[in-house]
Amino acid sequence: MRGNTVRSILFLVFILLLGAGAAYVANPNTPGINIGGYKNALKANLGLDLTGGVEIQLQAHCPTDKPNCDIGSLMPSTVNIVQQRVSGGLGVNDAVVQTLDNNRILVQLPNQKDPEQAKALLGKTGLMQIIDTQGTPLGVGTTVQPGQYKVVFTGSQLDPNSISAQLDQSNQPIVTFEFSGPARAAFATYTRDNIGQYLTIVVDNQVINSATIQSEIDGQGQITGLGSITAAQQLATEMKYGALPLPLTTTEVRQVAATLGQQAIEYSIRAALIGLGLVVLFMIIYYRLPGLLADLALMLYALFLVAVIKLLGVTLSLEGIAAVVLTIGMAVDANILIFERMKEELRAGRTMASAVDLGFKRAWPSIRDSNASTLITAAILYWFGNTFGATNIVGFATNLFIGVVLSLFTAVVVTRNFLNLLMFSGIATHPALYSLPADALKVPRYNPRLRKPSTRPAVVTPSRATAEEAEDLDAGPDEESEDTLASVGAGVNGAKPDAASMTTKQTGGEE
């Protein structure tokens, strides 16, 4: 018992520290996090329907070297690369990327303020090549015709995780990269055999770097001569997420206003607060002390949910907010199952500590199965939204999944720890605190009707009762009562009462 108490206290401290961290992250006035290279502005991202953004339409064409390509078969991979560039390069979550018809793509970017940056990134093919110019230097910006020079390496041979934009020691923007697999050794051999020659890198048939090979490069390569860190980041994105199978041209760019706006946000927040308040009142009124503890866990759940959404950068569209409101009610669903099982155990005569333990154990299979089915449903919705470009469904599924996992933690782990601490303290064991009348329990100390009568024999001690007191004795109709009254009277007159006459009917003896 002592060990369990210590563990519960330590876990309570952990929960409180976790809650304090979540409150810091959830606070709208928190400046952000910058620890060990990890940066997070901790800002809530709103969807296109709530904050507006940019809408771009792209037209796909066949490459110049393949004028009779099958555009329809290449469109899915093209859309996938555009989606990766949007989420990775522009850092826009909950963006809409979908096919309009056989050769057009619609891209909607919520909260995007620079349409030119988006257009430049999305419209470029991003085909990187290292060409052999046979000792001829090419200036940056020179256009190279397909087939004009021999291609020795392509961007598809790079390790995507190694590509990054950064500043060198002289504070100049560069892009670093490494080859993967056999191409790494092949690149080292090529640079060793061509020392003094030019290493020329082209992207979309345009020279972006042409430098003399000074030594064998066995590891990380660099692209220098970039105008700004923004250009370096854009180039790194193009290289990292691969070349587009089809060239794209921008046909339309326009700003999109919020379809719902600030009023919808306010109504959504109001609905969430009303739902939270009704759940809190219901739990306190119906379940009393356990309901109060469940409400405390629910408050922690709300903090954890907001903190996780801000840490992960999840975009909140109206569908995402609906998922958050939905999970508020689901957060106490497990508690209701547990508390009802606790009541059943108390009515069966269990002690309070035993009822708490068994209530959690016997309710767990139902809680596990119901939450597992919800998580599976959220995963299916997420897959469906990603596959068919329905990012509003993706937002709903993401928030639903996060909410179910957090509600399971707070309802089962946090609430149980609170109850265990009260059990160990011994200050919350009366059934009234659990919305149960005392006479409903099969426990004698709470139910007076179940208390057994005393089995100790009654002993009549001779006393100096007066004759008037003897006459006040209420004698029964049987002979035993009359004999008993007579014996009492004899004792009053000074005679020593007979031992047999002192035996009453209450003792069950015979005269």
Structure tokens at 481: 């009562």
Which residues fall within 8 angstroms of residue 36, CB to CB, at 6 or more apart?
none
128-243: in CATH 3.30.1360.200: yes
Lowest model confidence (mean pLDDT) among 31-45, 247-261, 476-490: 476-490
Four-residue CA torsion sign, 156, 158, 159, 163: negative
Task: Return the number of other C-beta atoms located less than 10 Å from residue 450's C-beta.
Answer: 13
Rounded Cα distance, 189 and 217, in Å: 8
Burial 341-358 (b: 16+ CB within 10 A, else e): bbbebbeeebebbebbbb
Which of 64, 203, 63, 234 lies closest to 131 in space, CA to CA?
A: 203
Range from 13-17, 85-89, 102-106, 155-159 carrying the lowest mean pLDDT: 85-89
Nearest residue to 292 (alpha-carbon basis) of 437, 408, 439, 422: 422
Model confidence pTM above 0.85: no
Residue 455: band (very low, low, confident or very high) from pLDDT cuts 50, 70, 90: low
Kind plus residue range of the DSSP H or E element containing 46: strand 45-46
- pLDDT of 119: 76
Helical (H) or strand (E) element with 53? strand 53-60
Three-class HEC string of 408-438: HHHHHHHHHHHHHHHHHHCCCCCHHHHCCCH
pLDDT cut 70: percent of the chain above it: 78
Residue 427 confidence (pLDDT):
66
CATH code: domain 2-36+261-434 is: 1.20.1640.10
> Is pLDDT at 369 greater than 90 in this prediction?
yes
Task: Name the residue ranges covered by the structural domains of the chain.
Answer: 2-36+261-434, 53-125+250-256, 128-243, 483-511
Is 489's pLDDT higher than 80?
A: no
- Domain range 53-125+250-256, its CATH number among 2.120.10.70, 3.30.70.3400, 3.40.50.720, 3.30.460.80: 3.30.70.3400
Output phi, psi for 275, to 5 deg. -60, -40
Q: What is the DSSP letter of 110?
A: E
Pairwise CA distance, residues 502 & 440, whole Å: 42
3-state helix, strand, coil in the chain (%, to 5): 55, 15, 30
The predicted structure's pLDDT at residue 236: 81
Q: How much is the mean pLDDT over the chain?
A: 77
pLDDT score, position 509: 40
- Work out the average pLDDT over 132-137: 83
Give the closest residue to 239 by CA, choosing from 221, 218, 225.
221
Question: Which are the contacts of 464, defined by CB distance < 8 A and separation ≥ 6?
Answer: 492
- pLDDT score recorded for residue 448: 56
The rounded distance, in Å, linking the Cα atoms of 314 and 327 is 16
Least confident of 236-250, 413-427, 482-496: 482-496
Under the banding of pLDDT at 50, 70 and 90, the label for residue 486 is very low
